Amino acid sequence: MMTINTNSELSQVPFVGVNQMVNLVNTLGIKPLLSGLIDYLEQDFKQWQGFDKSPRYAAHSPEGVIELMPTGNHDKFSFKYVNGHPKNTKQGLQTVTAFGVLSDVDTGYPLLISEMTLLTALRTAATSAMMAKYLAPKGASTMAMIGCGAQSEFQAIAFNHIIGIDTVRLYDVEPEAITKCQQNLKLYDIRVIACESAQQAVTGADIITTCTADKKNATILTSDMVKDAVYINAIGGDCPGKTELEDKLLMRANVFVEYEPQTRIEGDIQQLNSDSPITEMHQVITGEKQGRTSQDELIIFDGVGFAVEDYSALRFIYDLVKENNDIQTLDLLANPQDPRNLFGITV
């Protein structure tokens, strides 16, 4: 059993790289990992008031954004470094890459460093499915997926596993993205239908997921495209000036968010007045407020991703691997025999 509580071992920080994260997915399976992530997410959303919270720090450029997402409570602190560069795919690079750190609050020492490109995809899908537990109409069976990039398969699998979706209707402006998603979902018990337009994709859908990457003020869904009694999982918004939903659609719906100050900056509700009514999801998960109250409601989850979700994901992975004798470590921290004599290790 690995322990990390002695002075010598604290200089070696456990590290979960891409290969080990892939091994976790292959060994445990995506569905059990999603279920585990949801358990940790719900635990932390129920402790929402105990977290330090702020909108993420974002360094914007014409081609993308680099962000830091910190949060912590009395026990642990975490942060994630993540970028979003939609044009990267034209250079053979990913739109989003990330890594994160989980630390012990009492000592300030890092407990874990982890890749978070794959982990963010898993935690975003888990977050979407968790929110749908409270907000989606009962008996939902068909989901439209508008945007078939790196997130699409994870979203489809999560909604199939947690909500019971058995049909996914796909649309993307790039046909090869639809084909990619179709191929990747062949191993799962999900009926996949390729569509030629967003309007065709949403026809007959109980749930609509929008997950587009372009960094622009776009209107992927208009109000006249969407009937009542639908749940919209709008997760493509992640920066000022980037939207997916028409403002008229937002004004028709009951809107739920993660953390209002951040979503007002980055989400689709940046189009609305600052006093427009919204509900933070921790209030629903704790039972303070209701989620869906009627099958006839039009509900939107305006999800931009928040640091507490990354905290939950890192905490989950840490608990999975901390007793693993094969865990990689990084020689990251100076560890002089006399902690007051740092200079002594240089001579």
The string of pLDDT tens digits covering residues 296-335 is 999 999 999 999 999 999 999 999 998 777 789 999 988 8
Percentage of the chain with pLDDT > 70?
A: 95
pLDDT in tens, 177-194: 999 999 999 999 999 999
Which CATH homologous superfamily contains domain 137-305? NAD(P)-binding Rossmann-like Domain (3.40.50.720)
- The sign of the dihedral angle between the CA atoms of 211, 212, 216, 221 is negative
Q: Is the pLDDT of residue 4 over 50?
A: no
Q: Which CATH code of 3.30.365.10, 2.40.50.140, 3.30.1780.10, 3.30.70.1560 fits the domain covering 9-118+308-346?
A: 3.30.1780.10
Q: Is the pLDDT of residue 255 over 50?
A: yes
Active-site annotation holds for 238:
yes
Q: Considering just the CA atoms, what is the radius of gyration of the chain in Å?
A: 21
The model's confidence at residue 64, banded by pLDDT at 50, 70 and 90, is confident
Q: Quick one: pLDDT at residue 330? A: 92
Give the global pTM. Answer: 0.93
Q: Is the pLDDT of residue 221 over 80?
A: yes
Mean pLDDT for the chain overall: 93
Q: Choosing from 44, 238, 268, 310, which is the catalytic residue?
A: 238
Residue 293, classed as helix, strand or coil, is coil
The model's confidence at residue 114, banded by pLDDT at 50, 70 and 90, is very high
Percentage of the chain with pLDDT > 90?
A: 80
* Over residues 77-81, mean pLDDT: 98
Q: Whole-angstrom Cα distance, residue 217 to residue 222?
A: 13
Q: Whole-angstrom Cα distance, residue 61 to residue 64?
A: 5
pLDDT in tens, 25-44: 999 999 999 999 999 999 99
Q: Quick one: pLDDT at residue 9? A: 64
* Over residues 150-168, mean pLDDT: 97
* Over residues 1-29, mean pLDDT: 78
Under DSSP, the state recorded for 204 is T
Q: Quick one: pLDDT at residue 8? A: 54
Residue 93, classed as helix, strand or coil, is coil
Q: Is the pLDDT of residue 345 over 90?
A: no
Q: Whole-angstrom Cα distance, residue 301 to residue 315?
A: 24
Q: Quick one: pLDDT at residue 3? A: 41
Lowest mean pLDDT among 5-9, 110-114, 282-286: 5-9
* Over residues 101-118, mean pLDDT: 97
Identify any residues that bridge with 69 across adjacent strands, giving them in sequence order: 80
Q: Quick one: pLDDT at residue 206? A: 98
Q: Is the pLDDT of residue 270 over 50?
A: yes
Measure the CA angle with vertex 206, ends 201 and 212; round to 5°. 45
Identify the helix (H) or strand (E) that includes residue 121.
Answer: helix 117-135
CATH 3.30.1780.10 in the chain: give the residue spans.
Answer: 9-118+308-346
Identify any residues that bridge with 328 across adjacent strands, giving them in sequence order: 15
* CB-based contacts of 273, cutoff 8 Å, min separation 6: none
- Do residues 12 and 111 lie in contact, with contact meaning Cβ atoms separated by under 8 Å? no
- Do residues 318 and 101 lie in contact, with contact meaning Cβ atoms separated by under 8 Å? no
Measure the CA angle with vertex 225, ends 299 and 131; round to 5°. 25
Q: At what angle do helices 18-28 and 30-45 cross, to 10 degrees?
A: 100
Q: Whole-angstrom Cα distance, residue 66 to residue 83?
A: 4
* CB-based contacts of 311, cutoff 8 Å, min separation 6: 44, 51, 71, 72, 76, 78, 102
Determine phi and psi for 7, rounding to 5 degrees: -60, -40
CATH 3.40.50.720 in the chain: give the residue spans.
Answer: 137-305
Q: Whole-angstrom Cα distance, residue 40 to residue 46?
A: 10
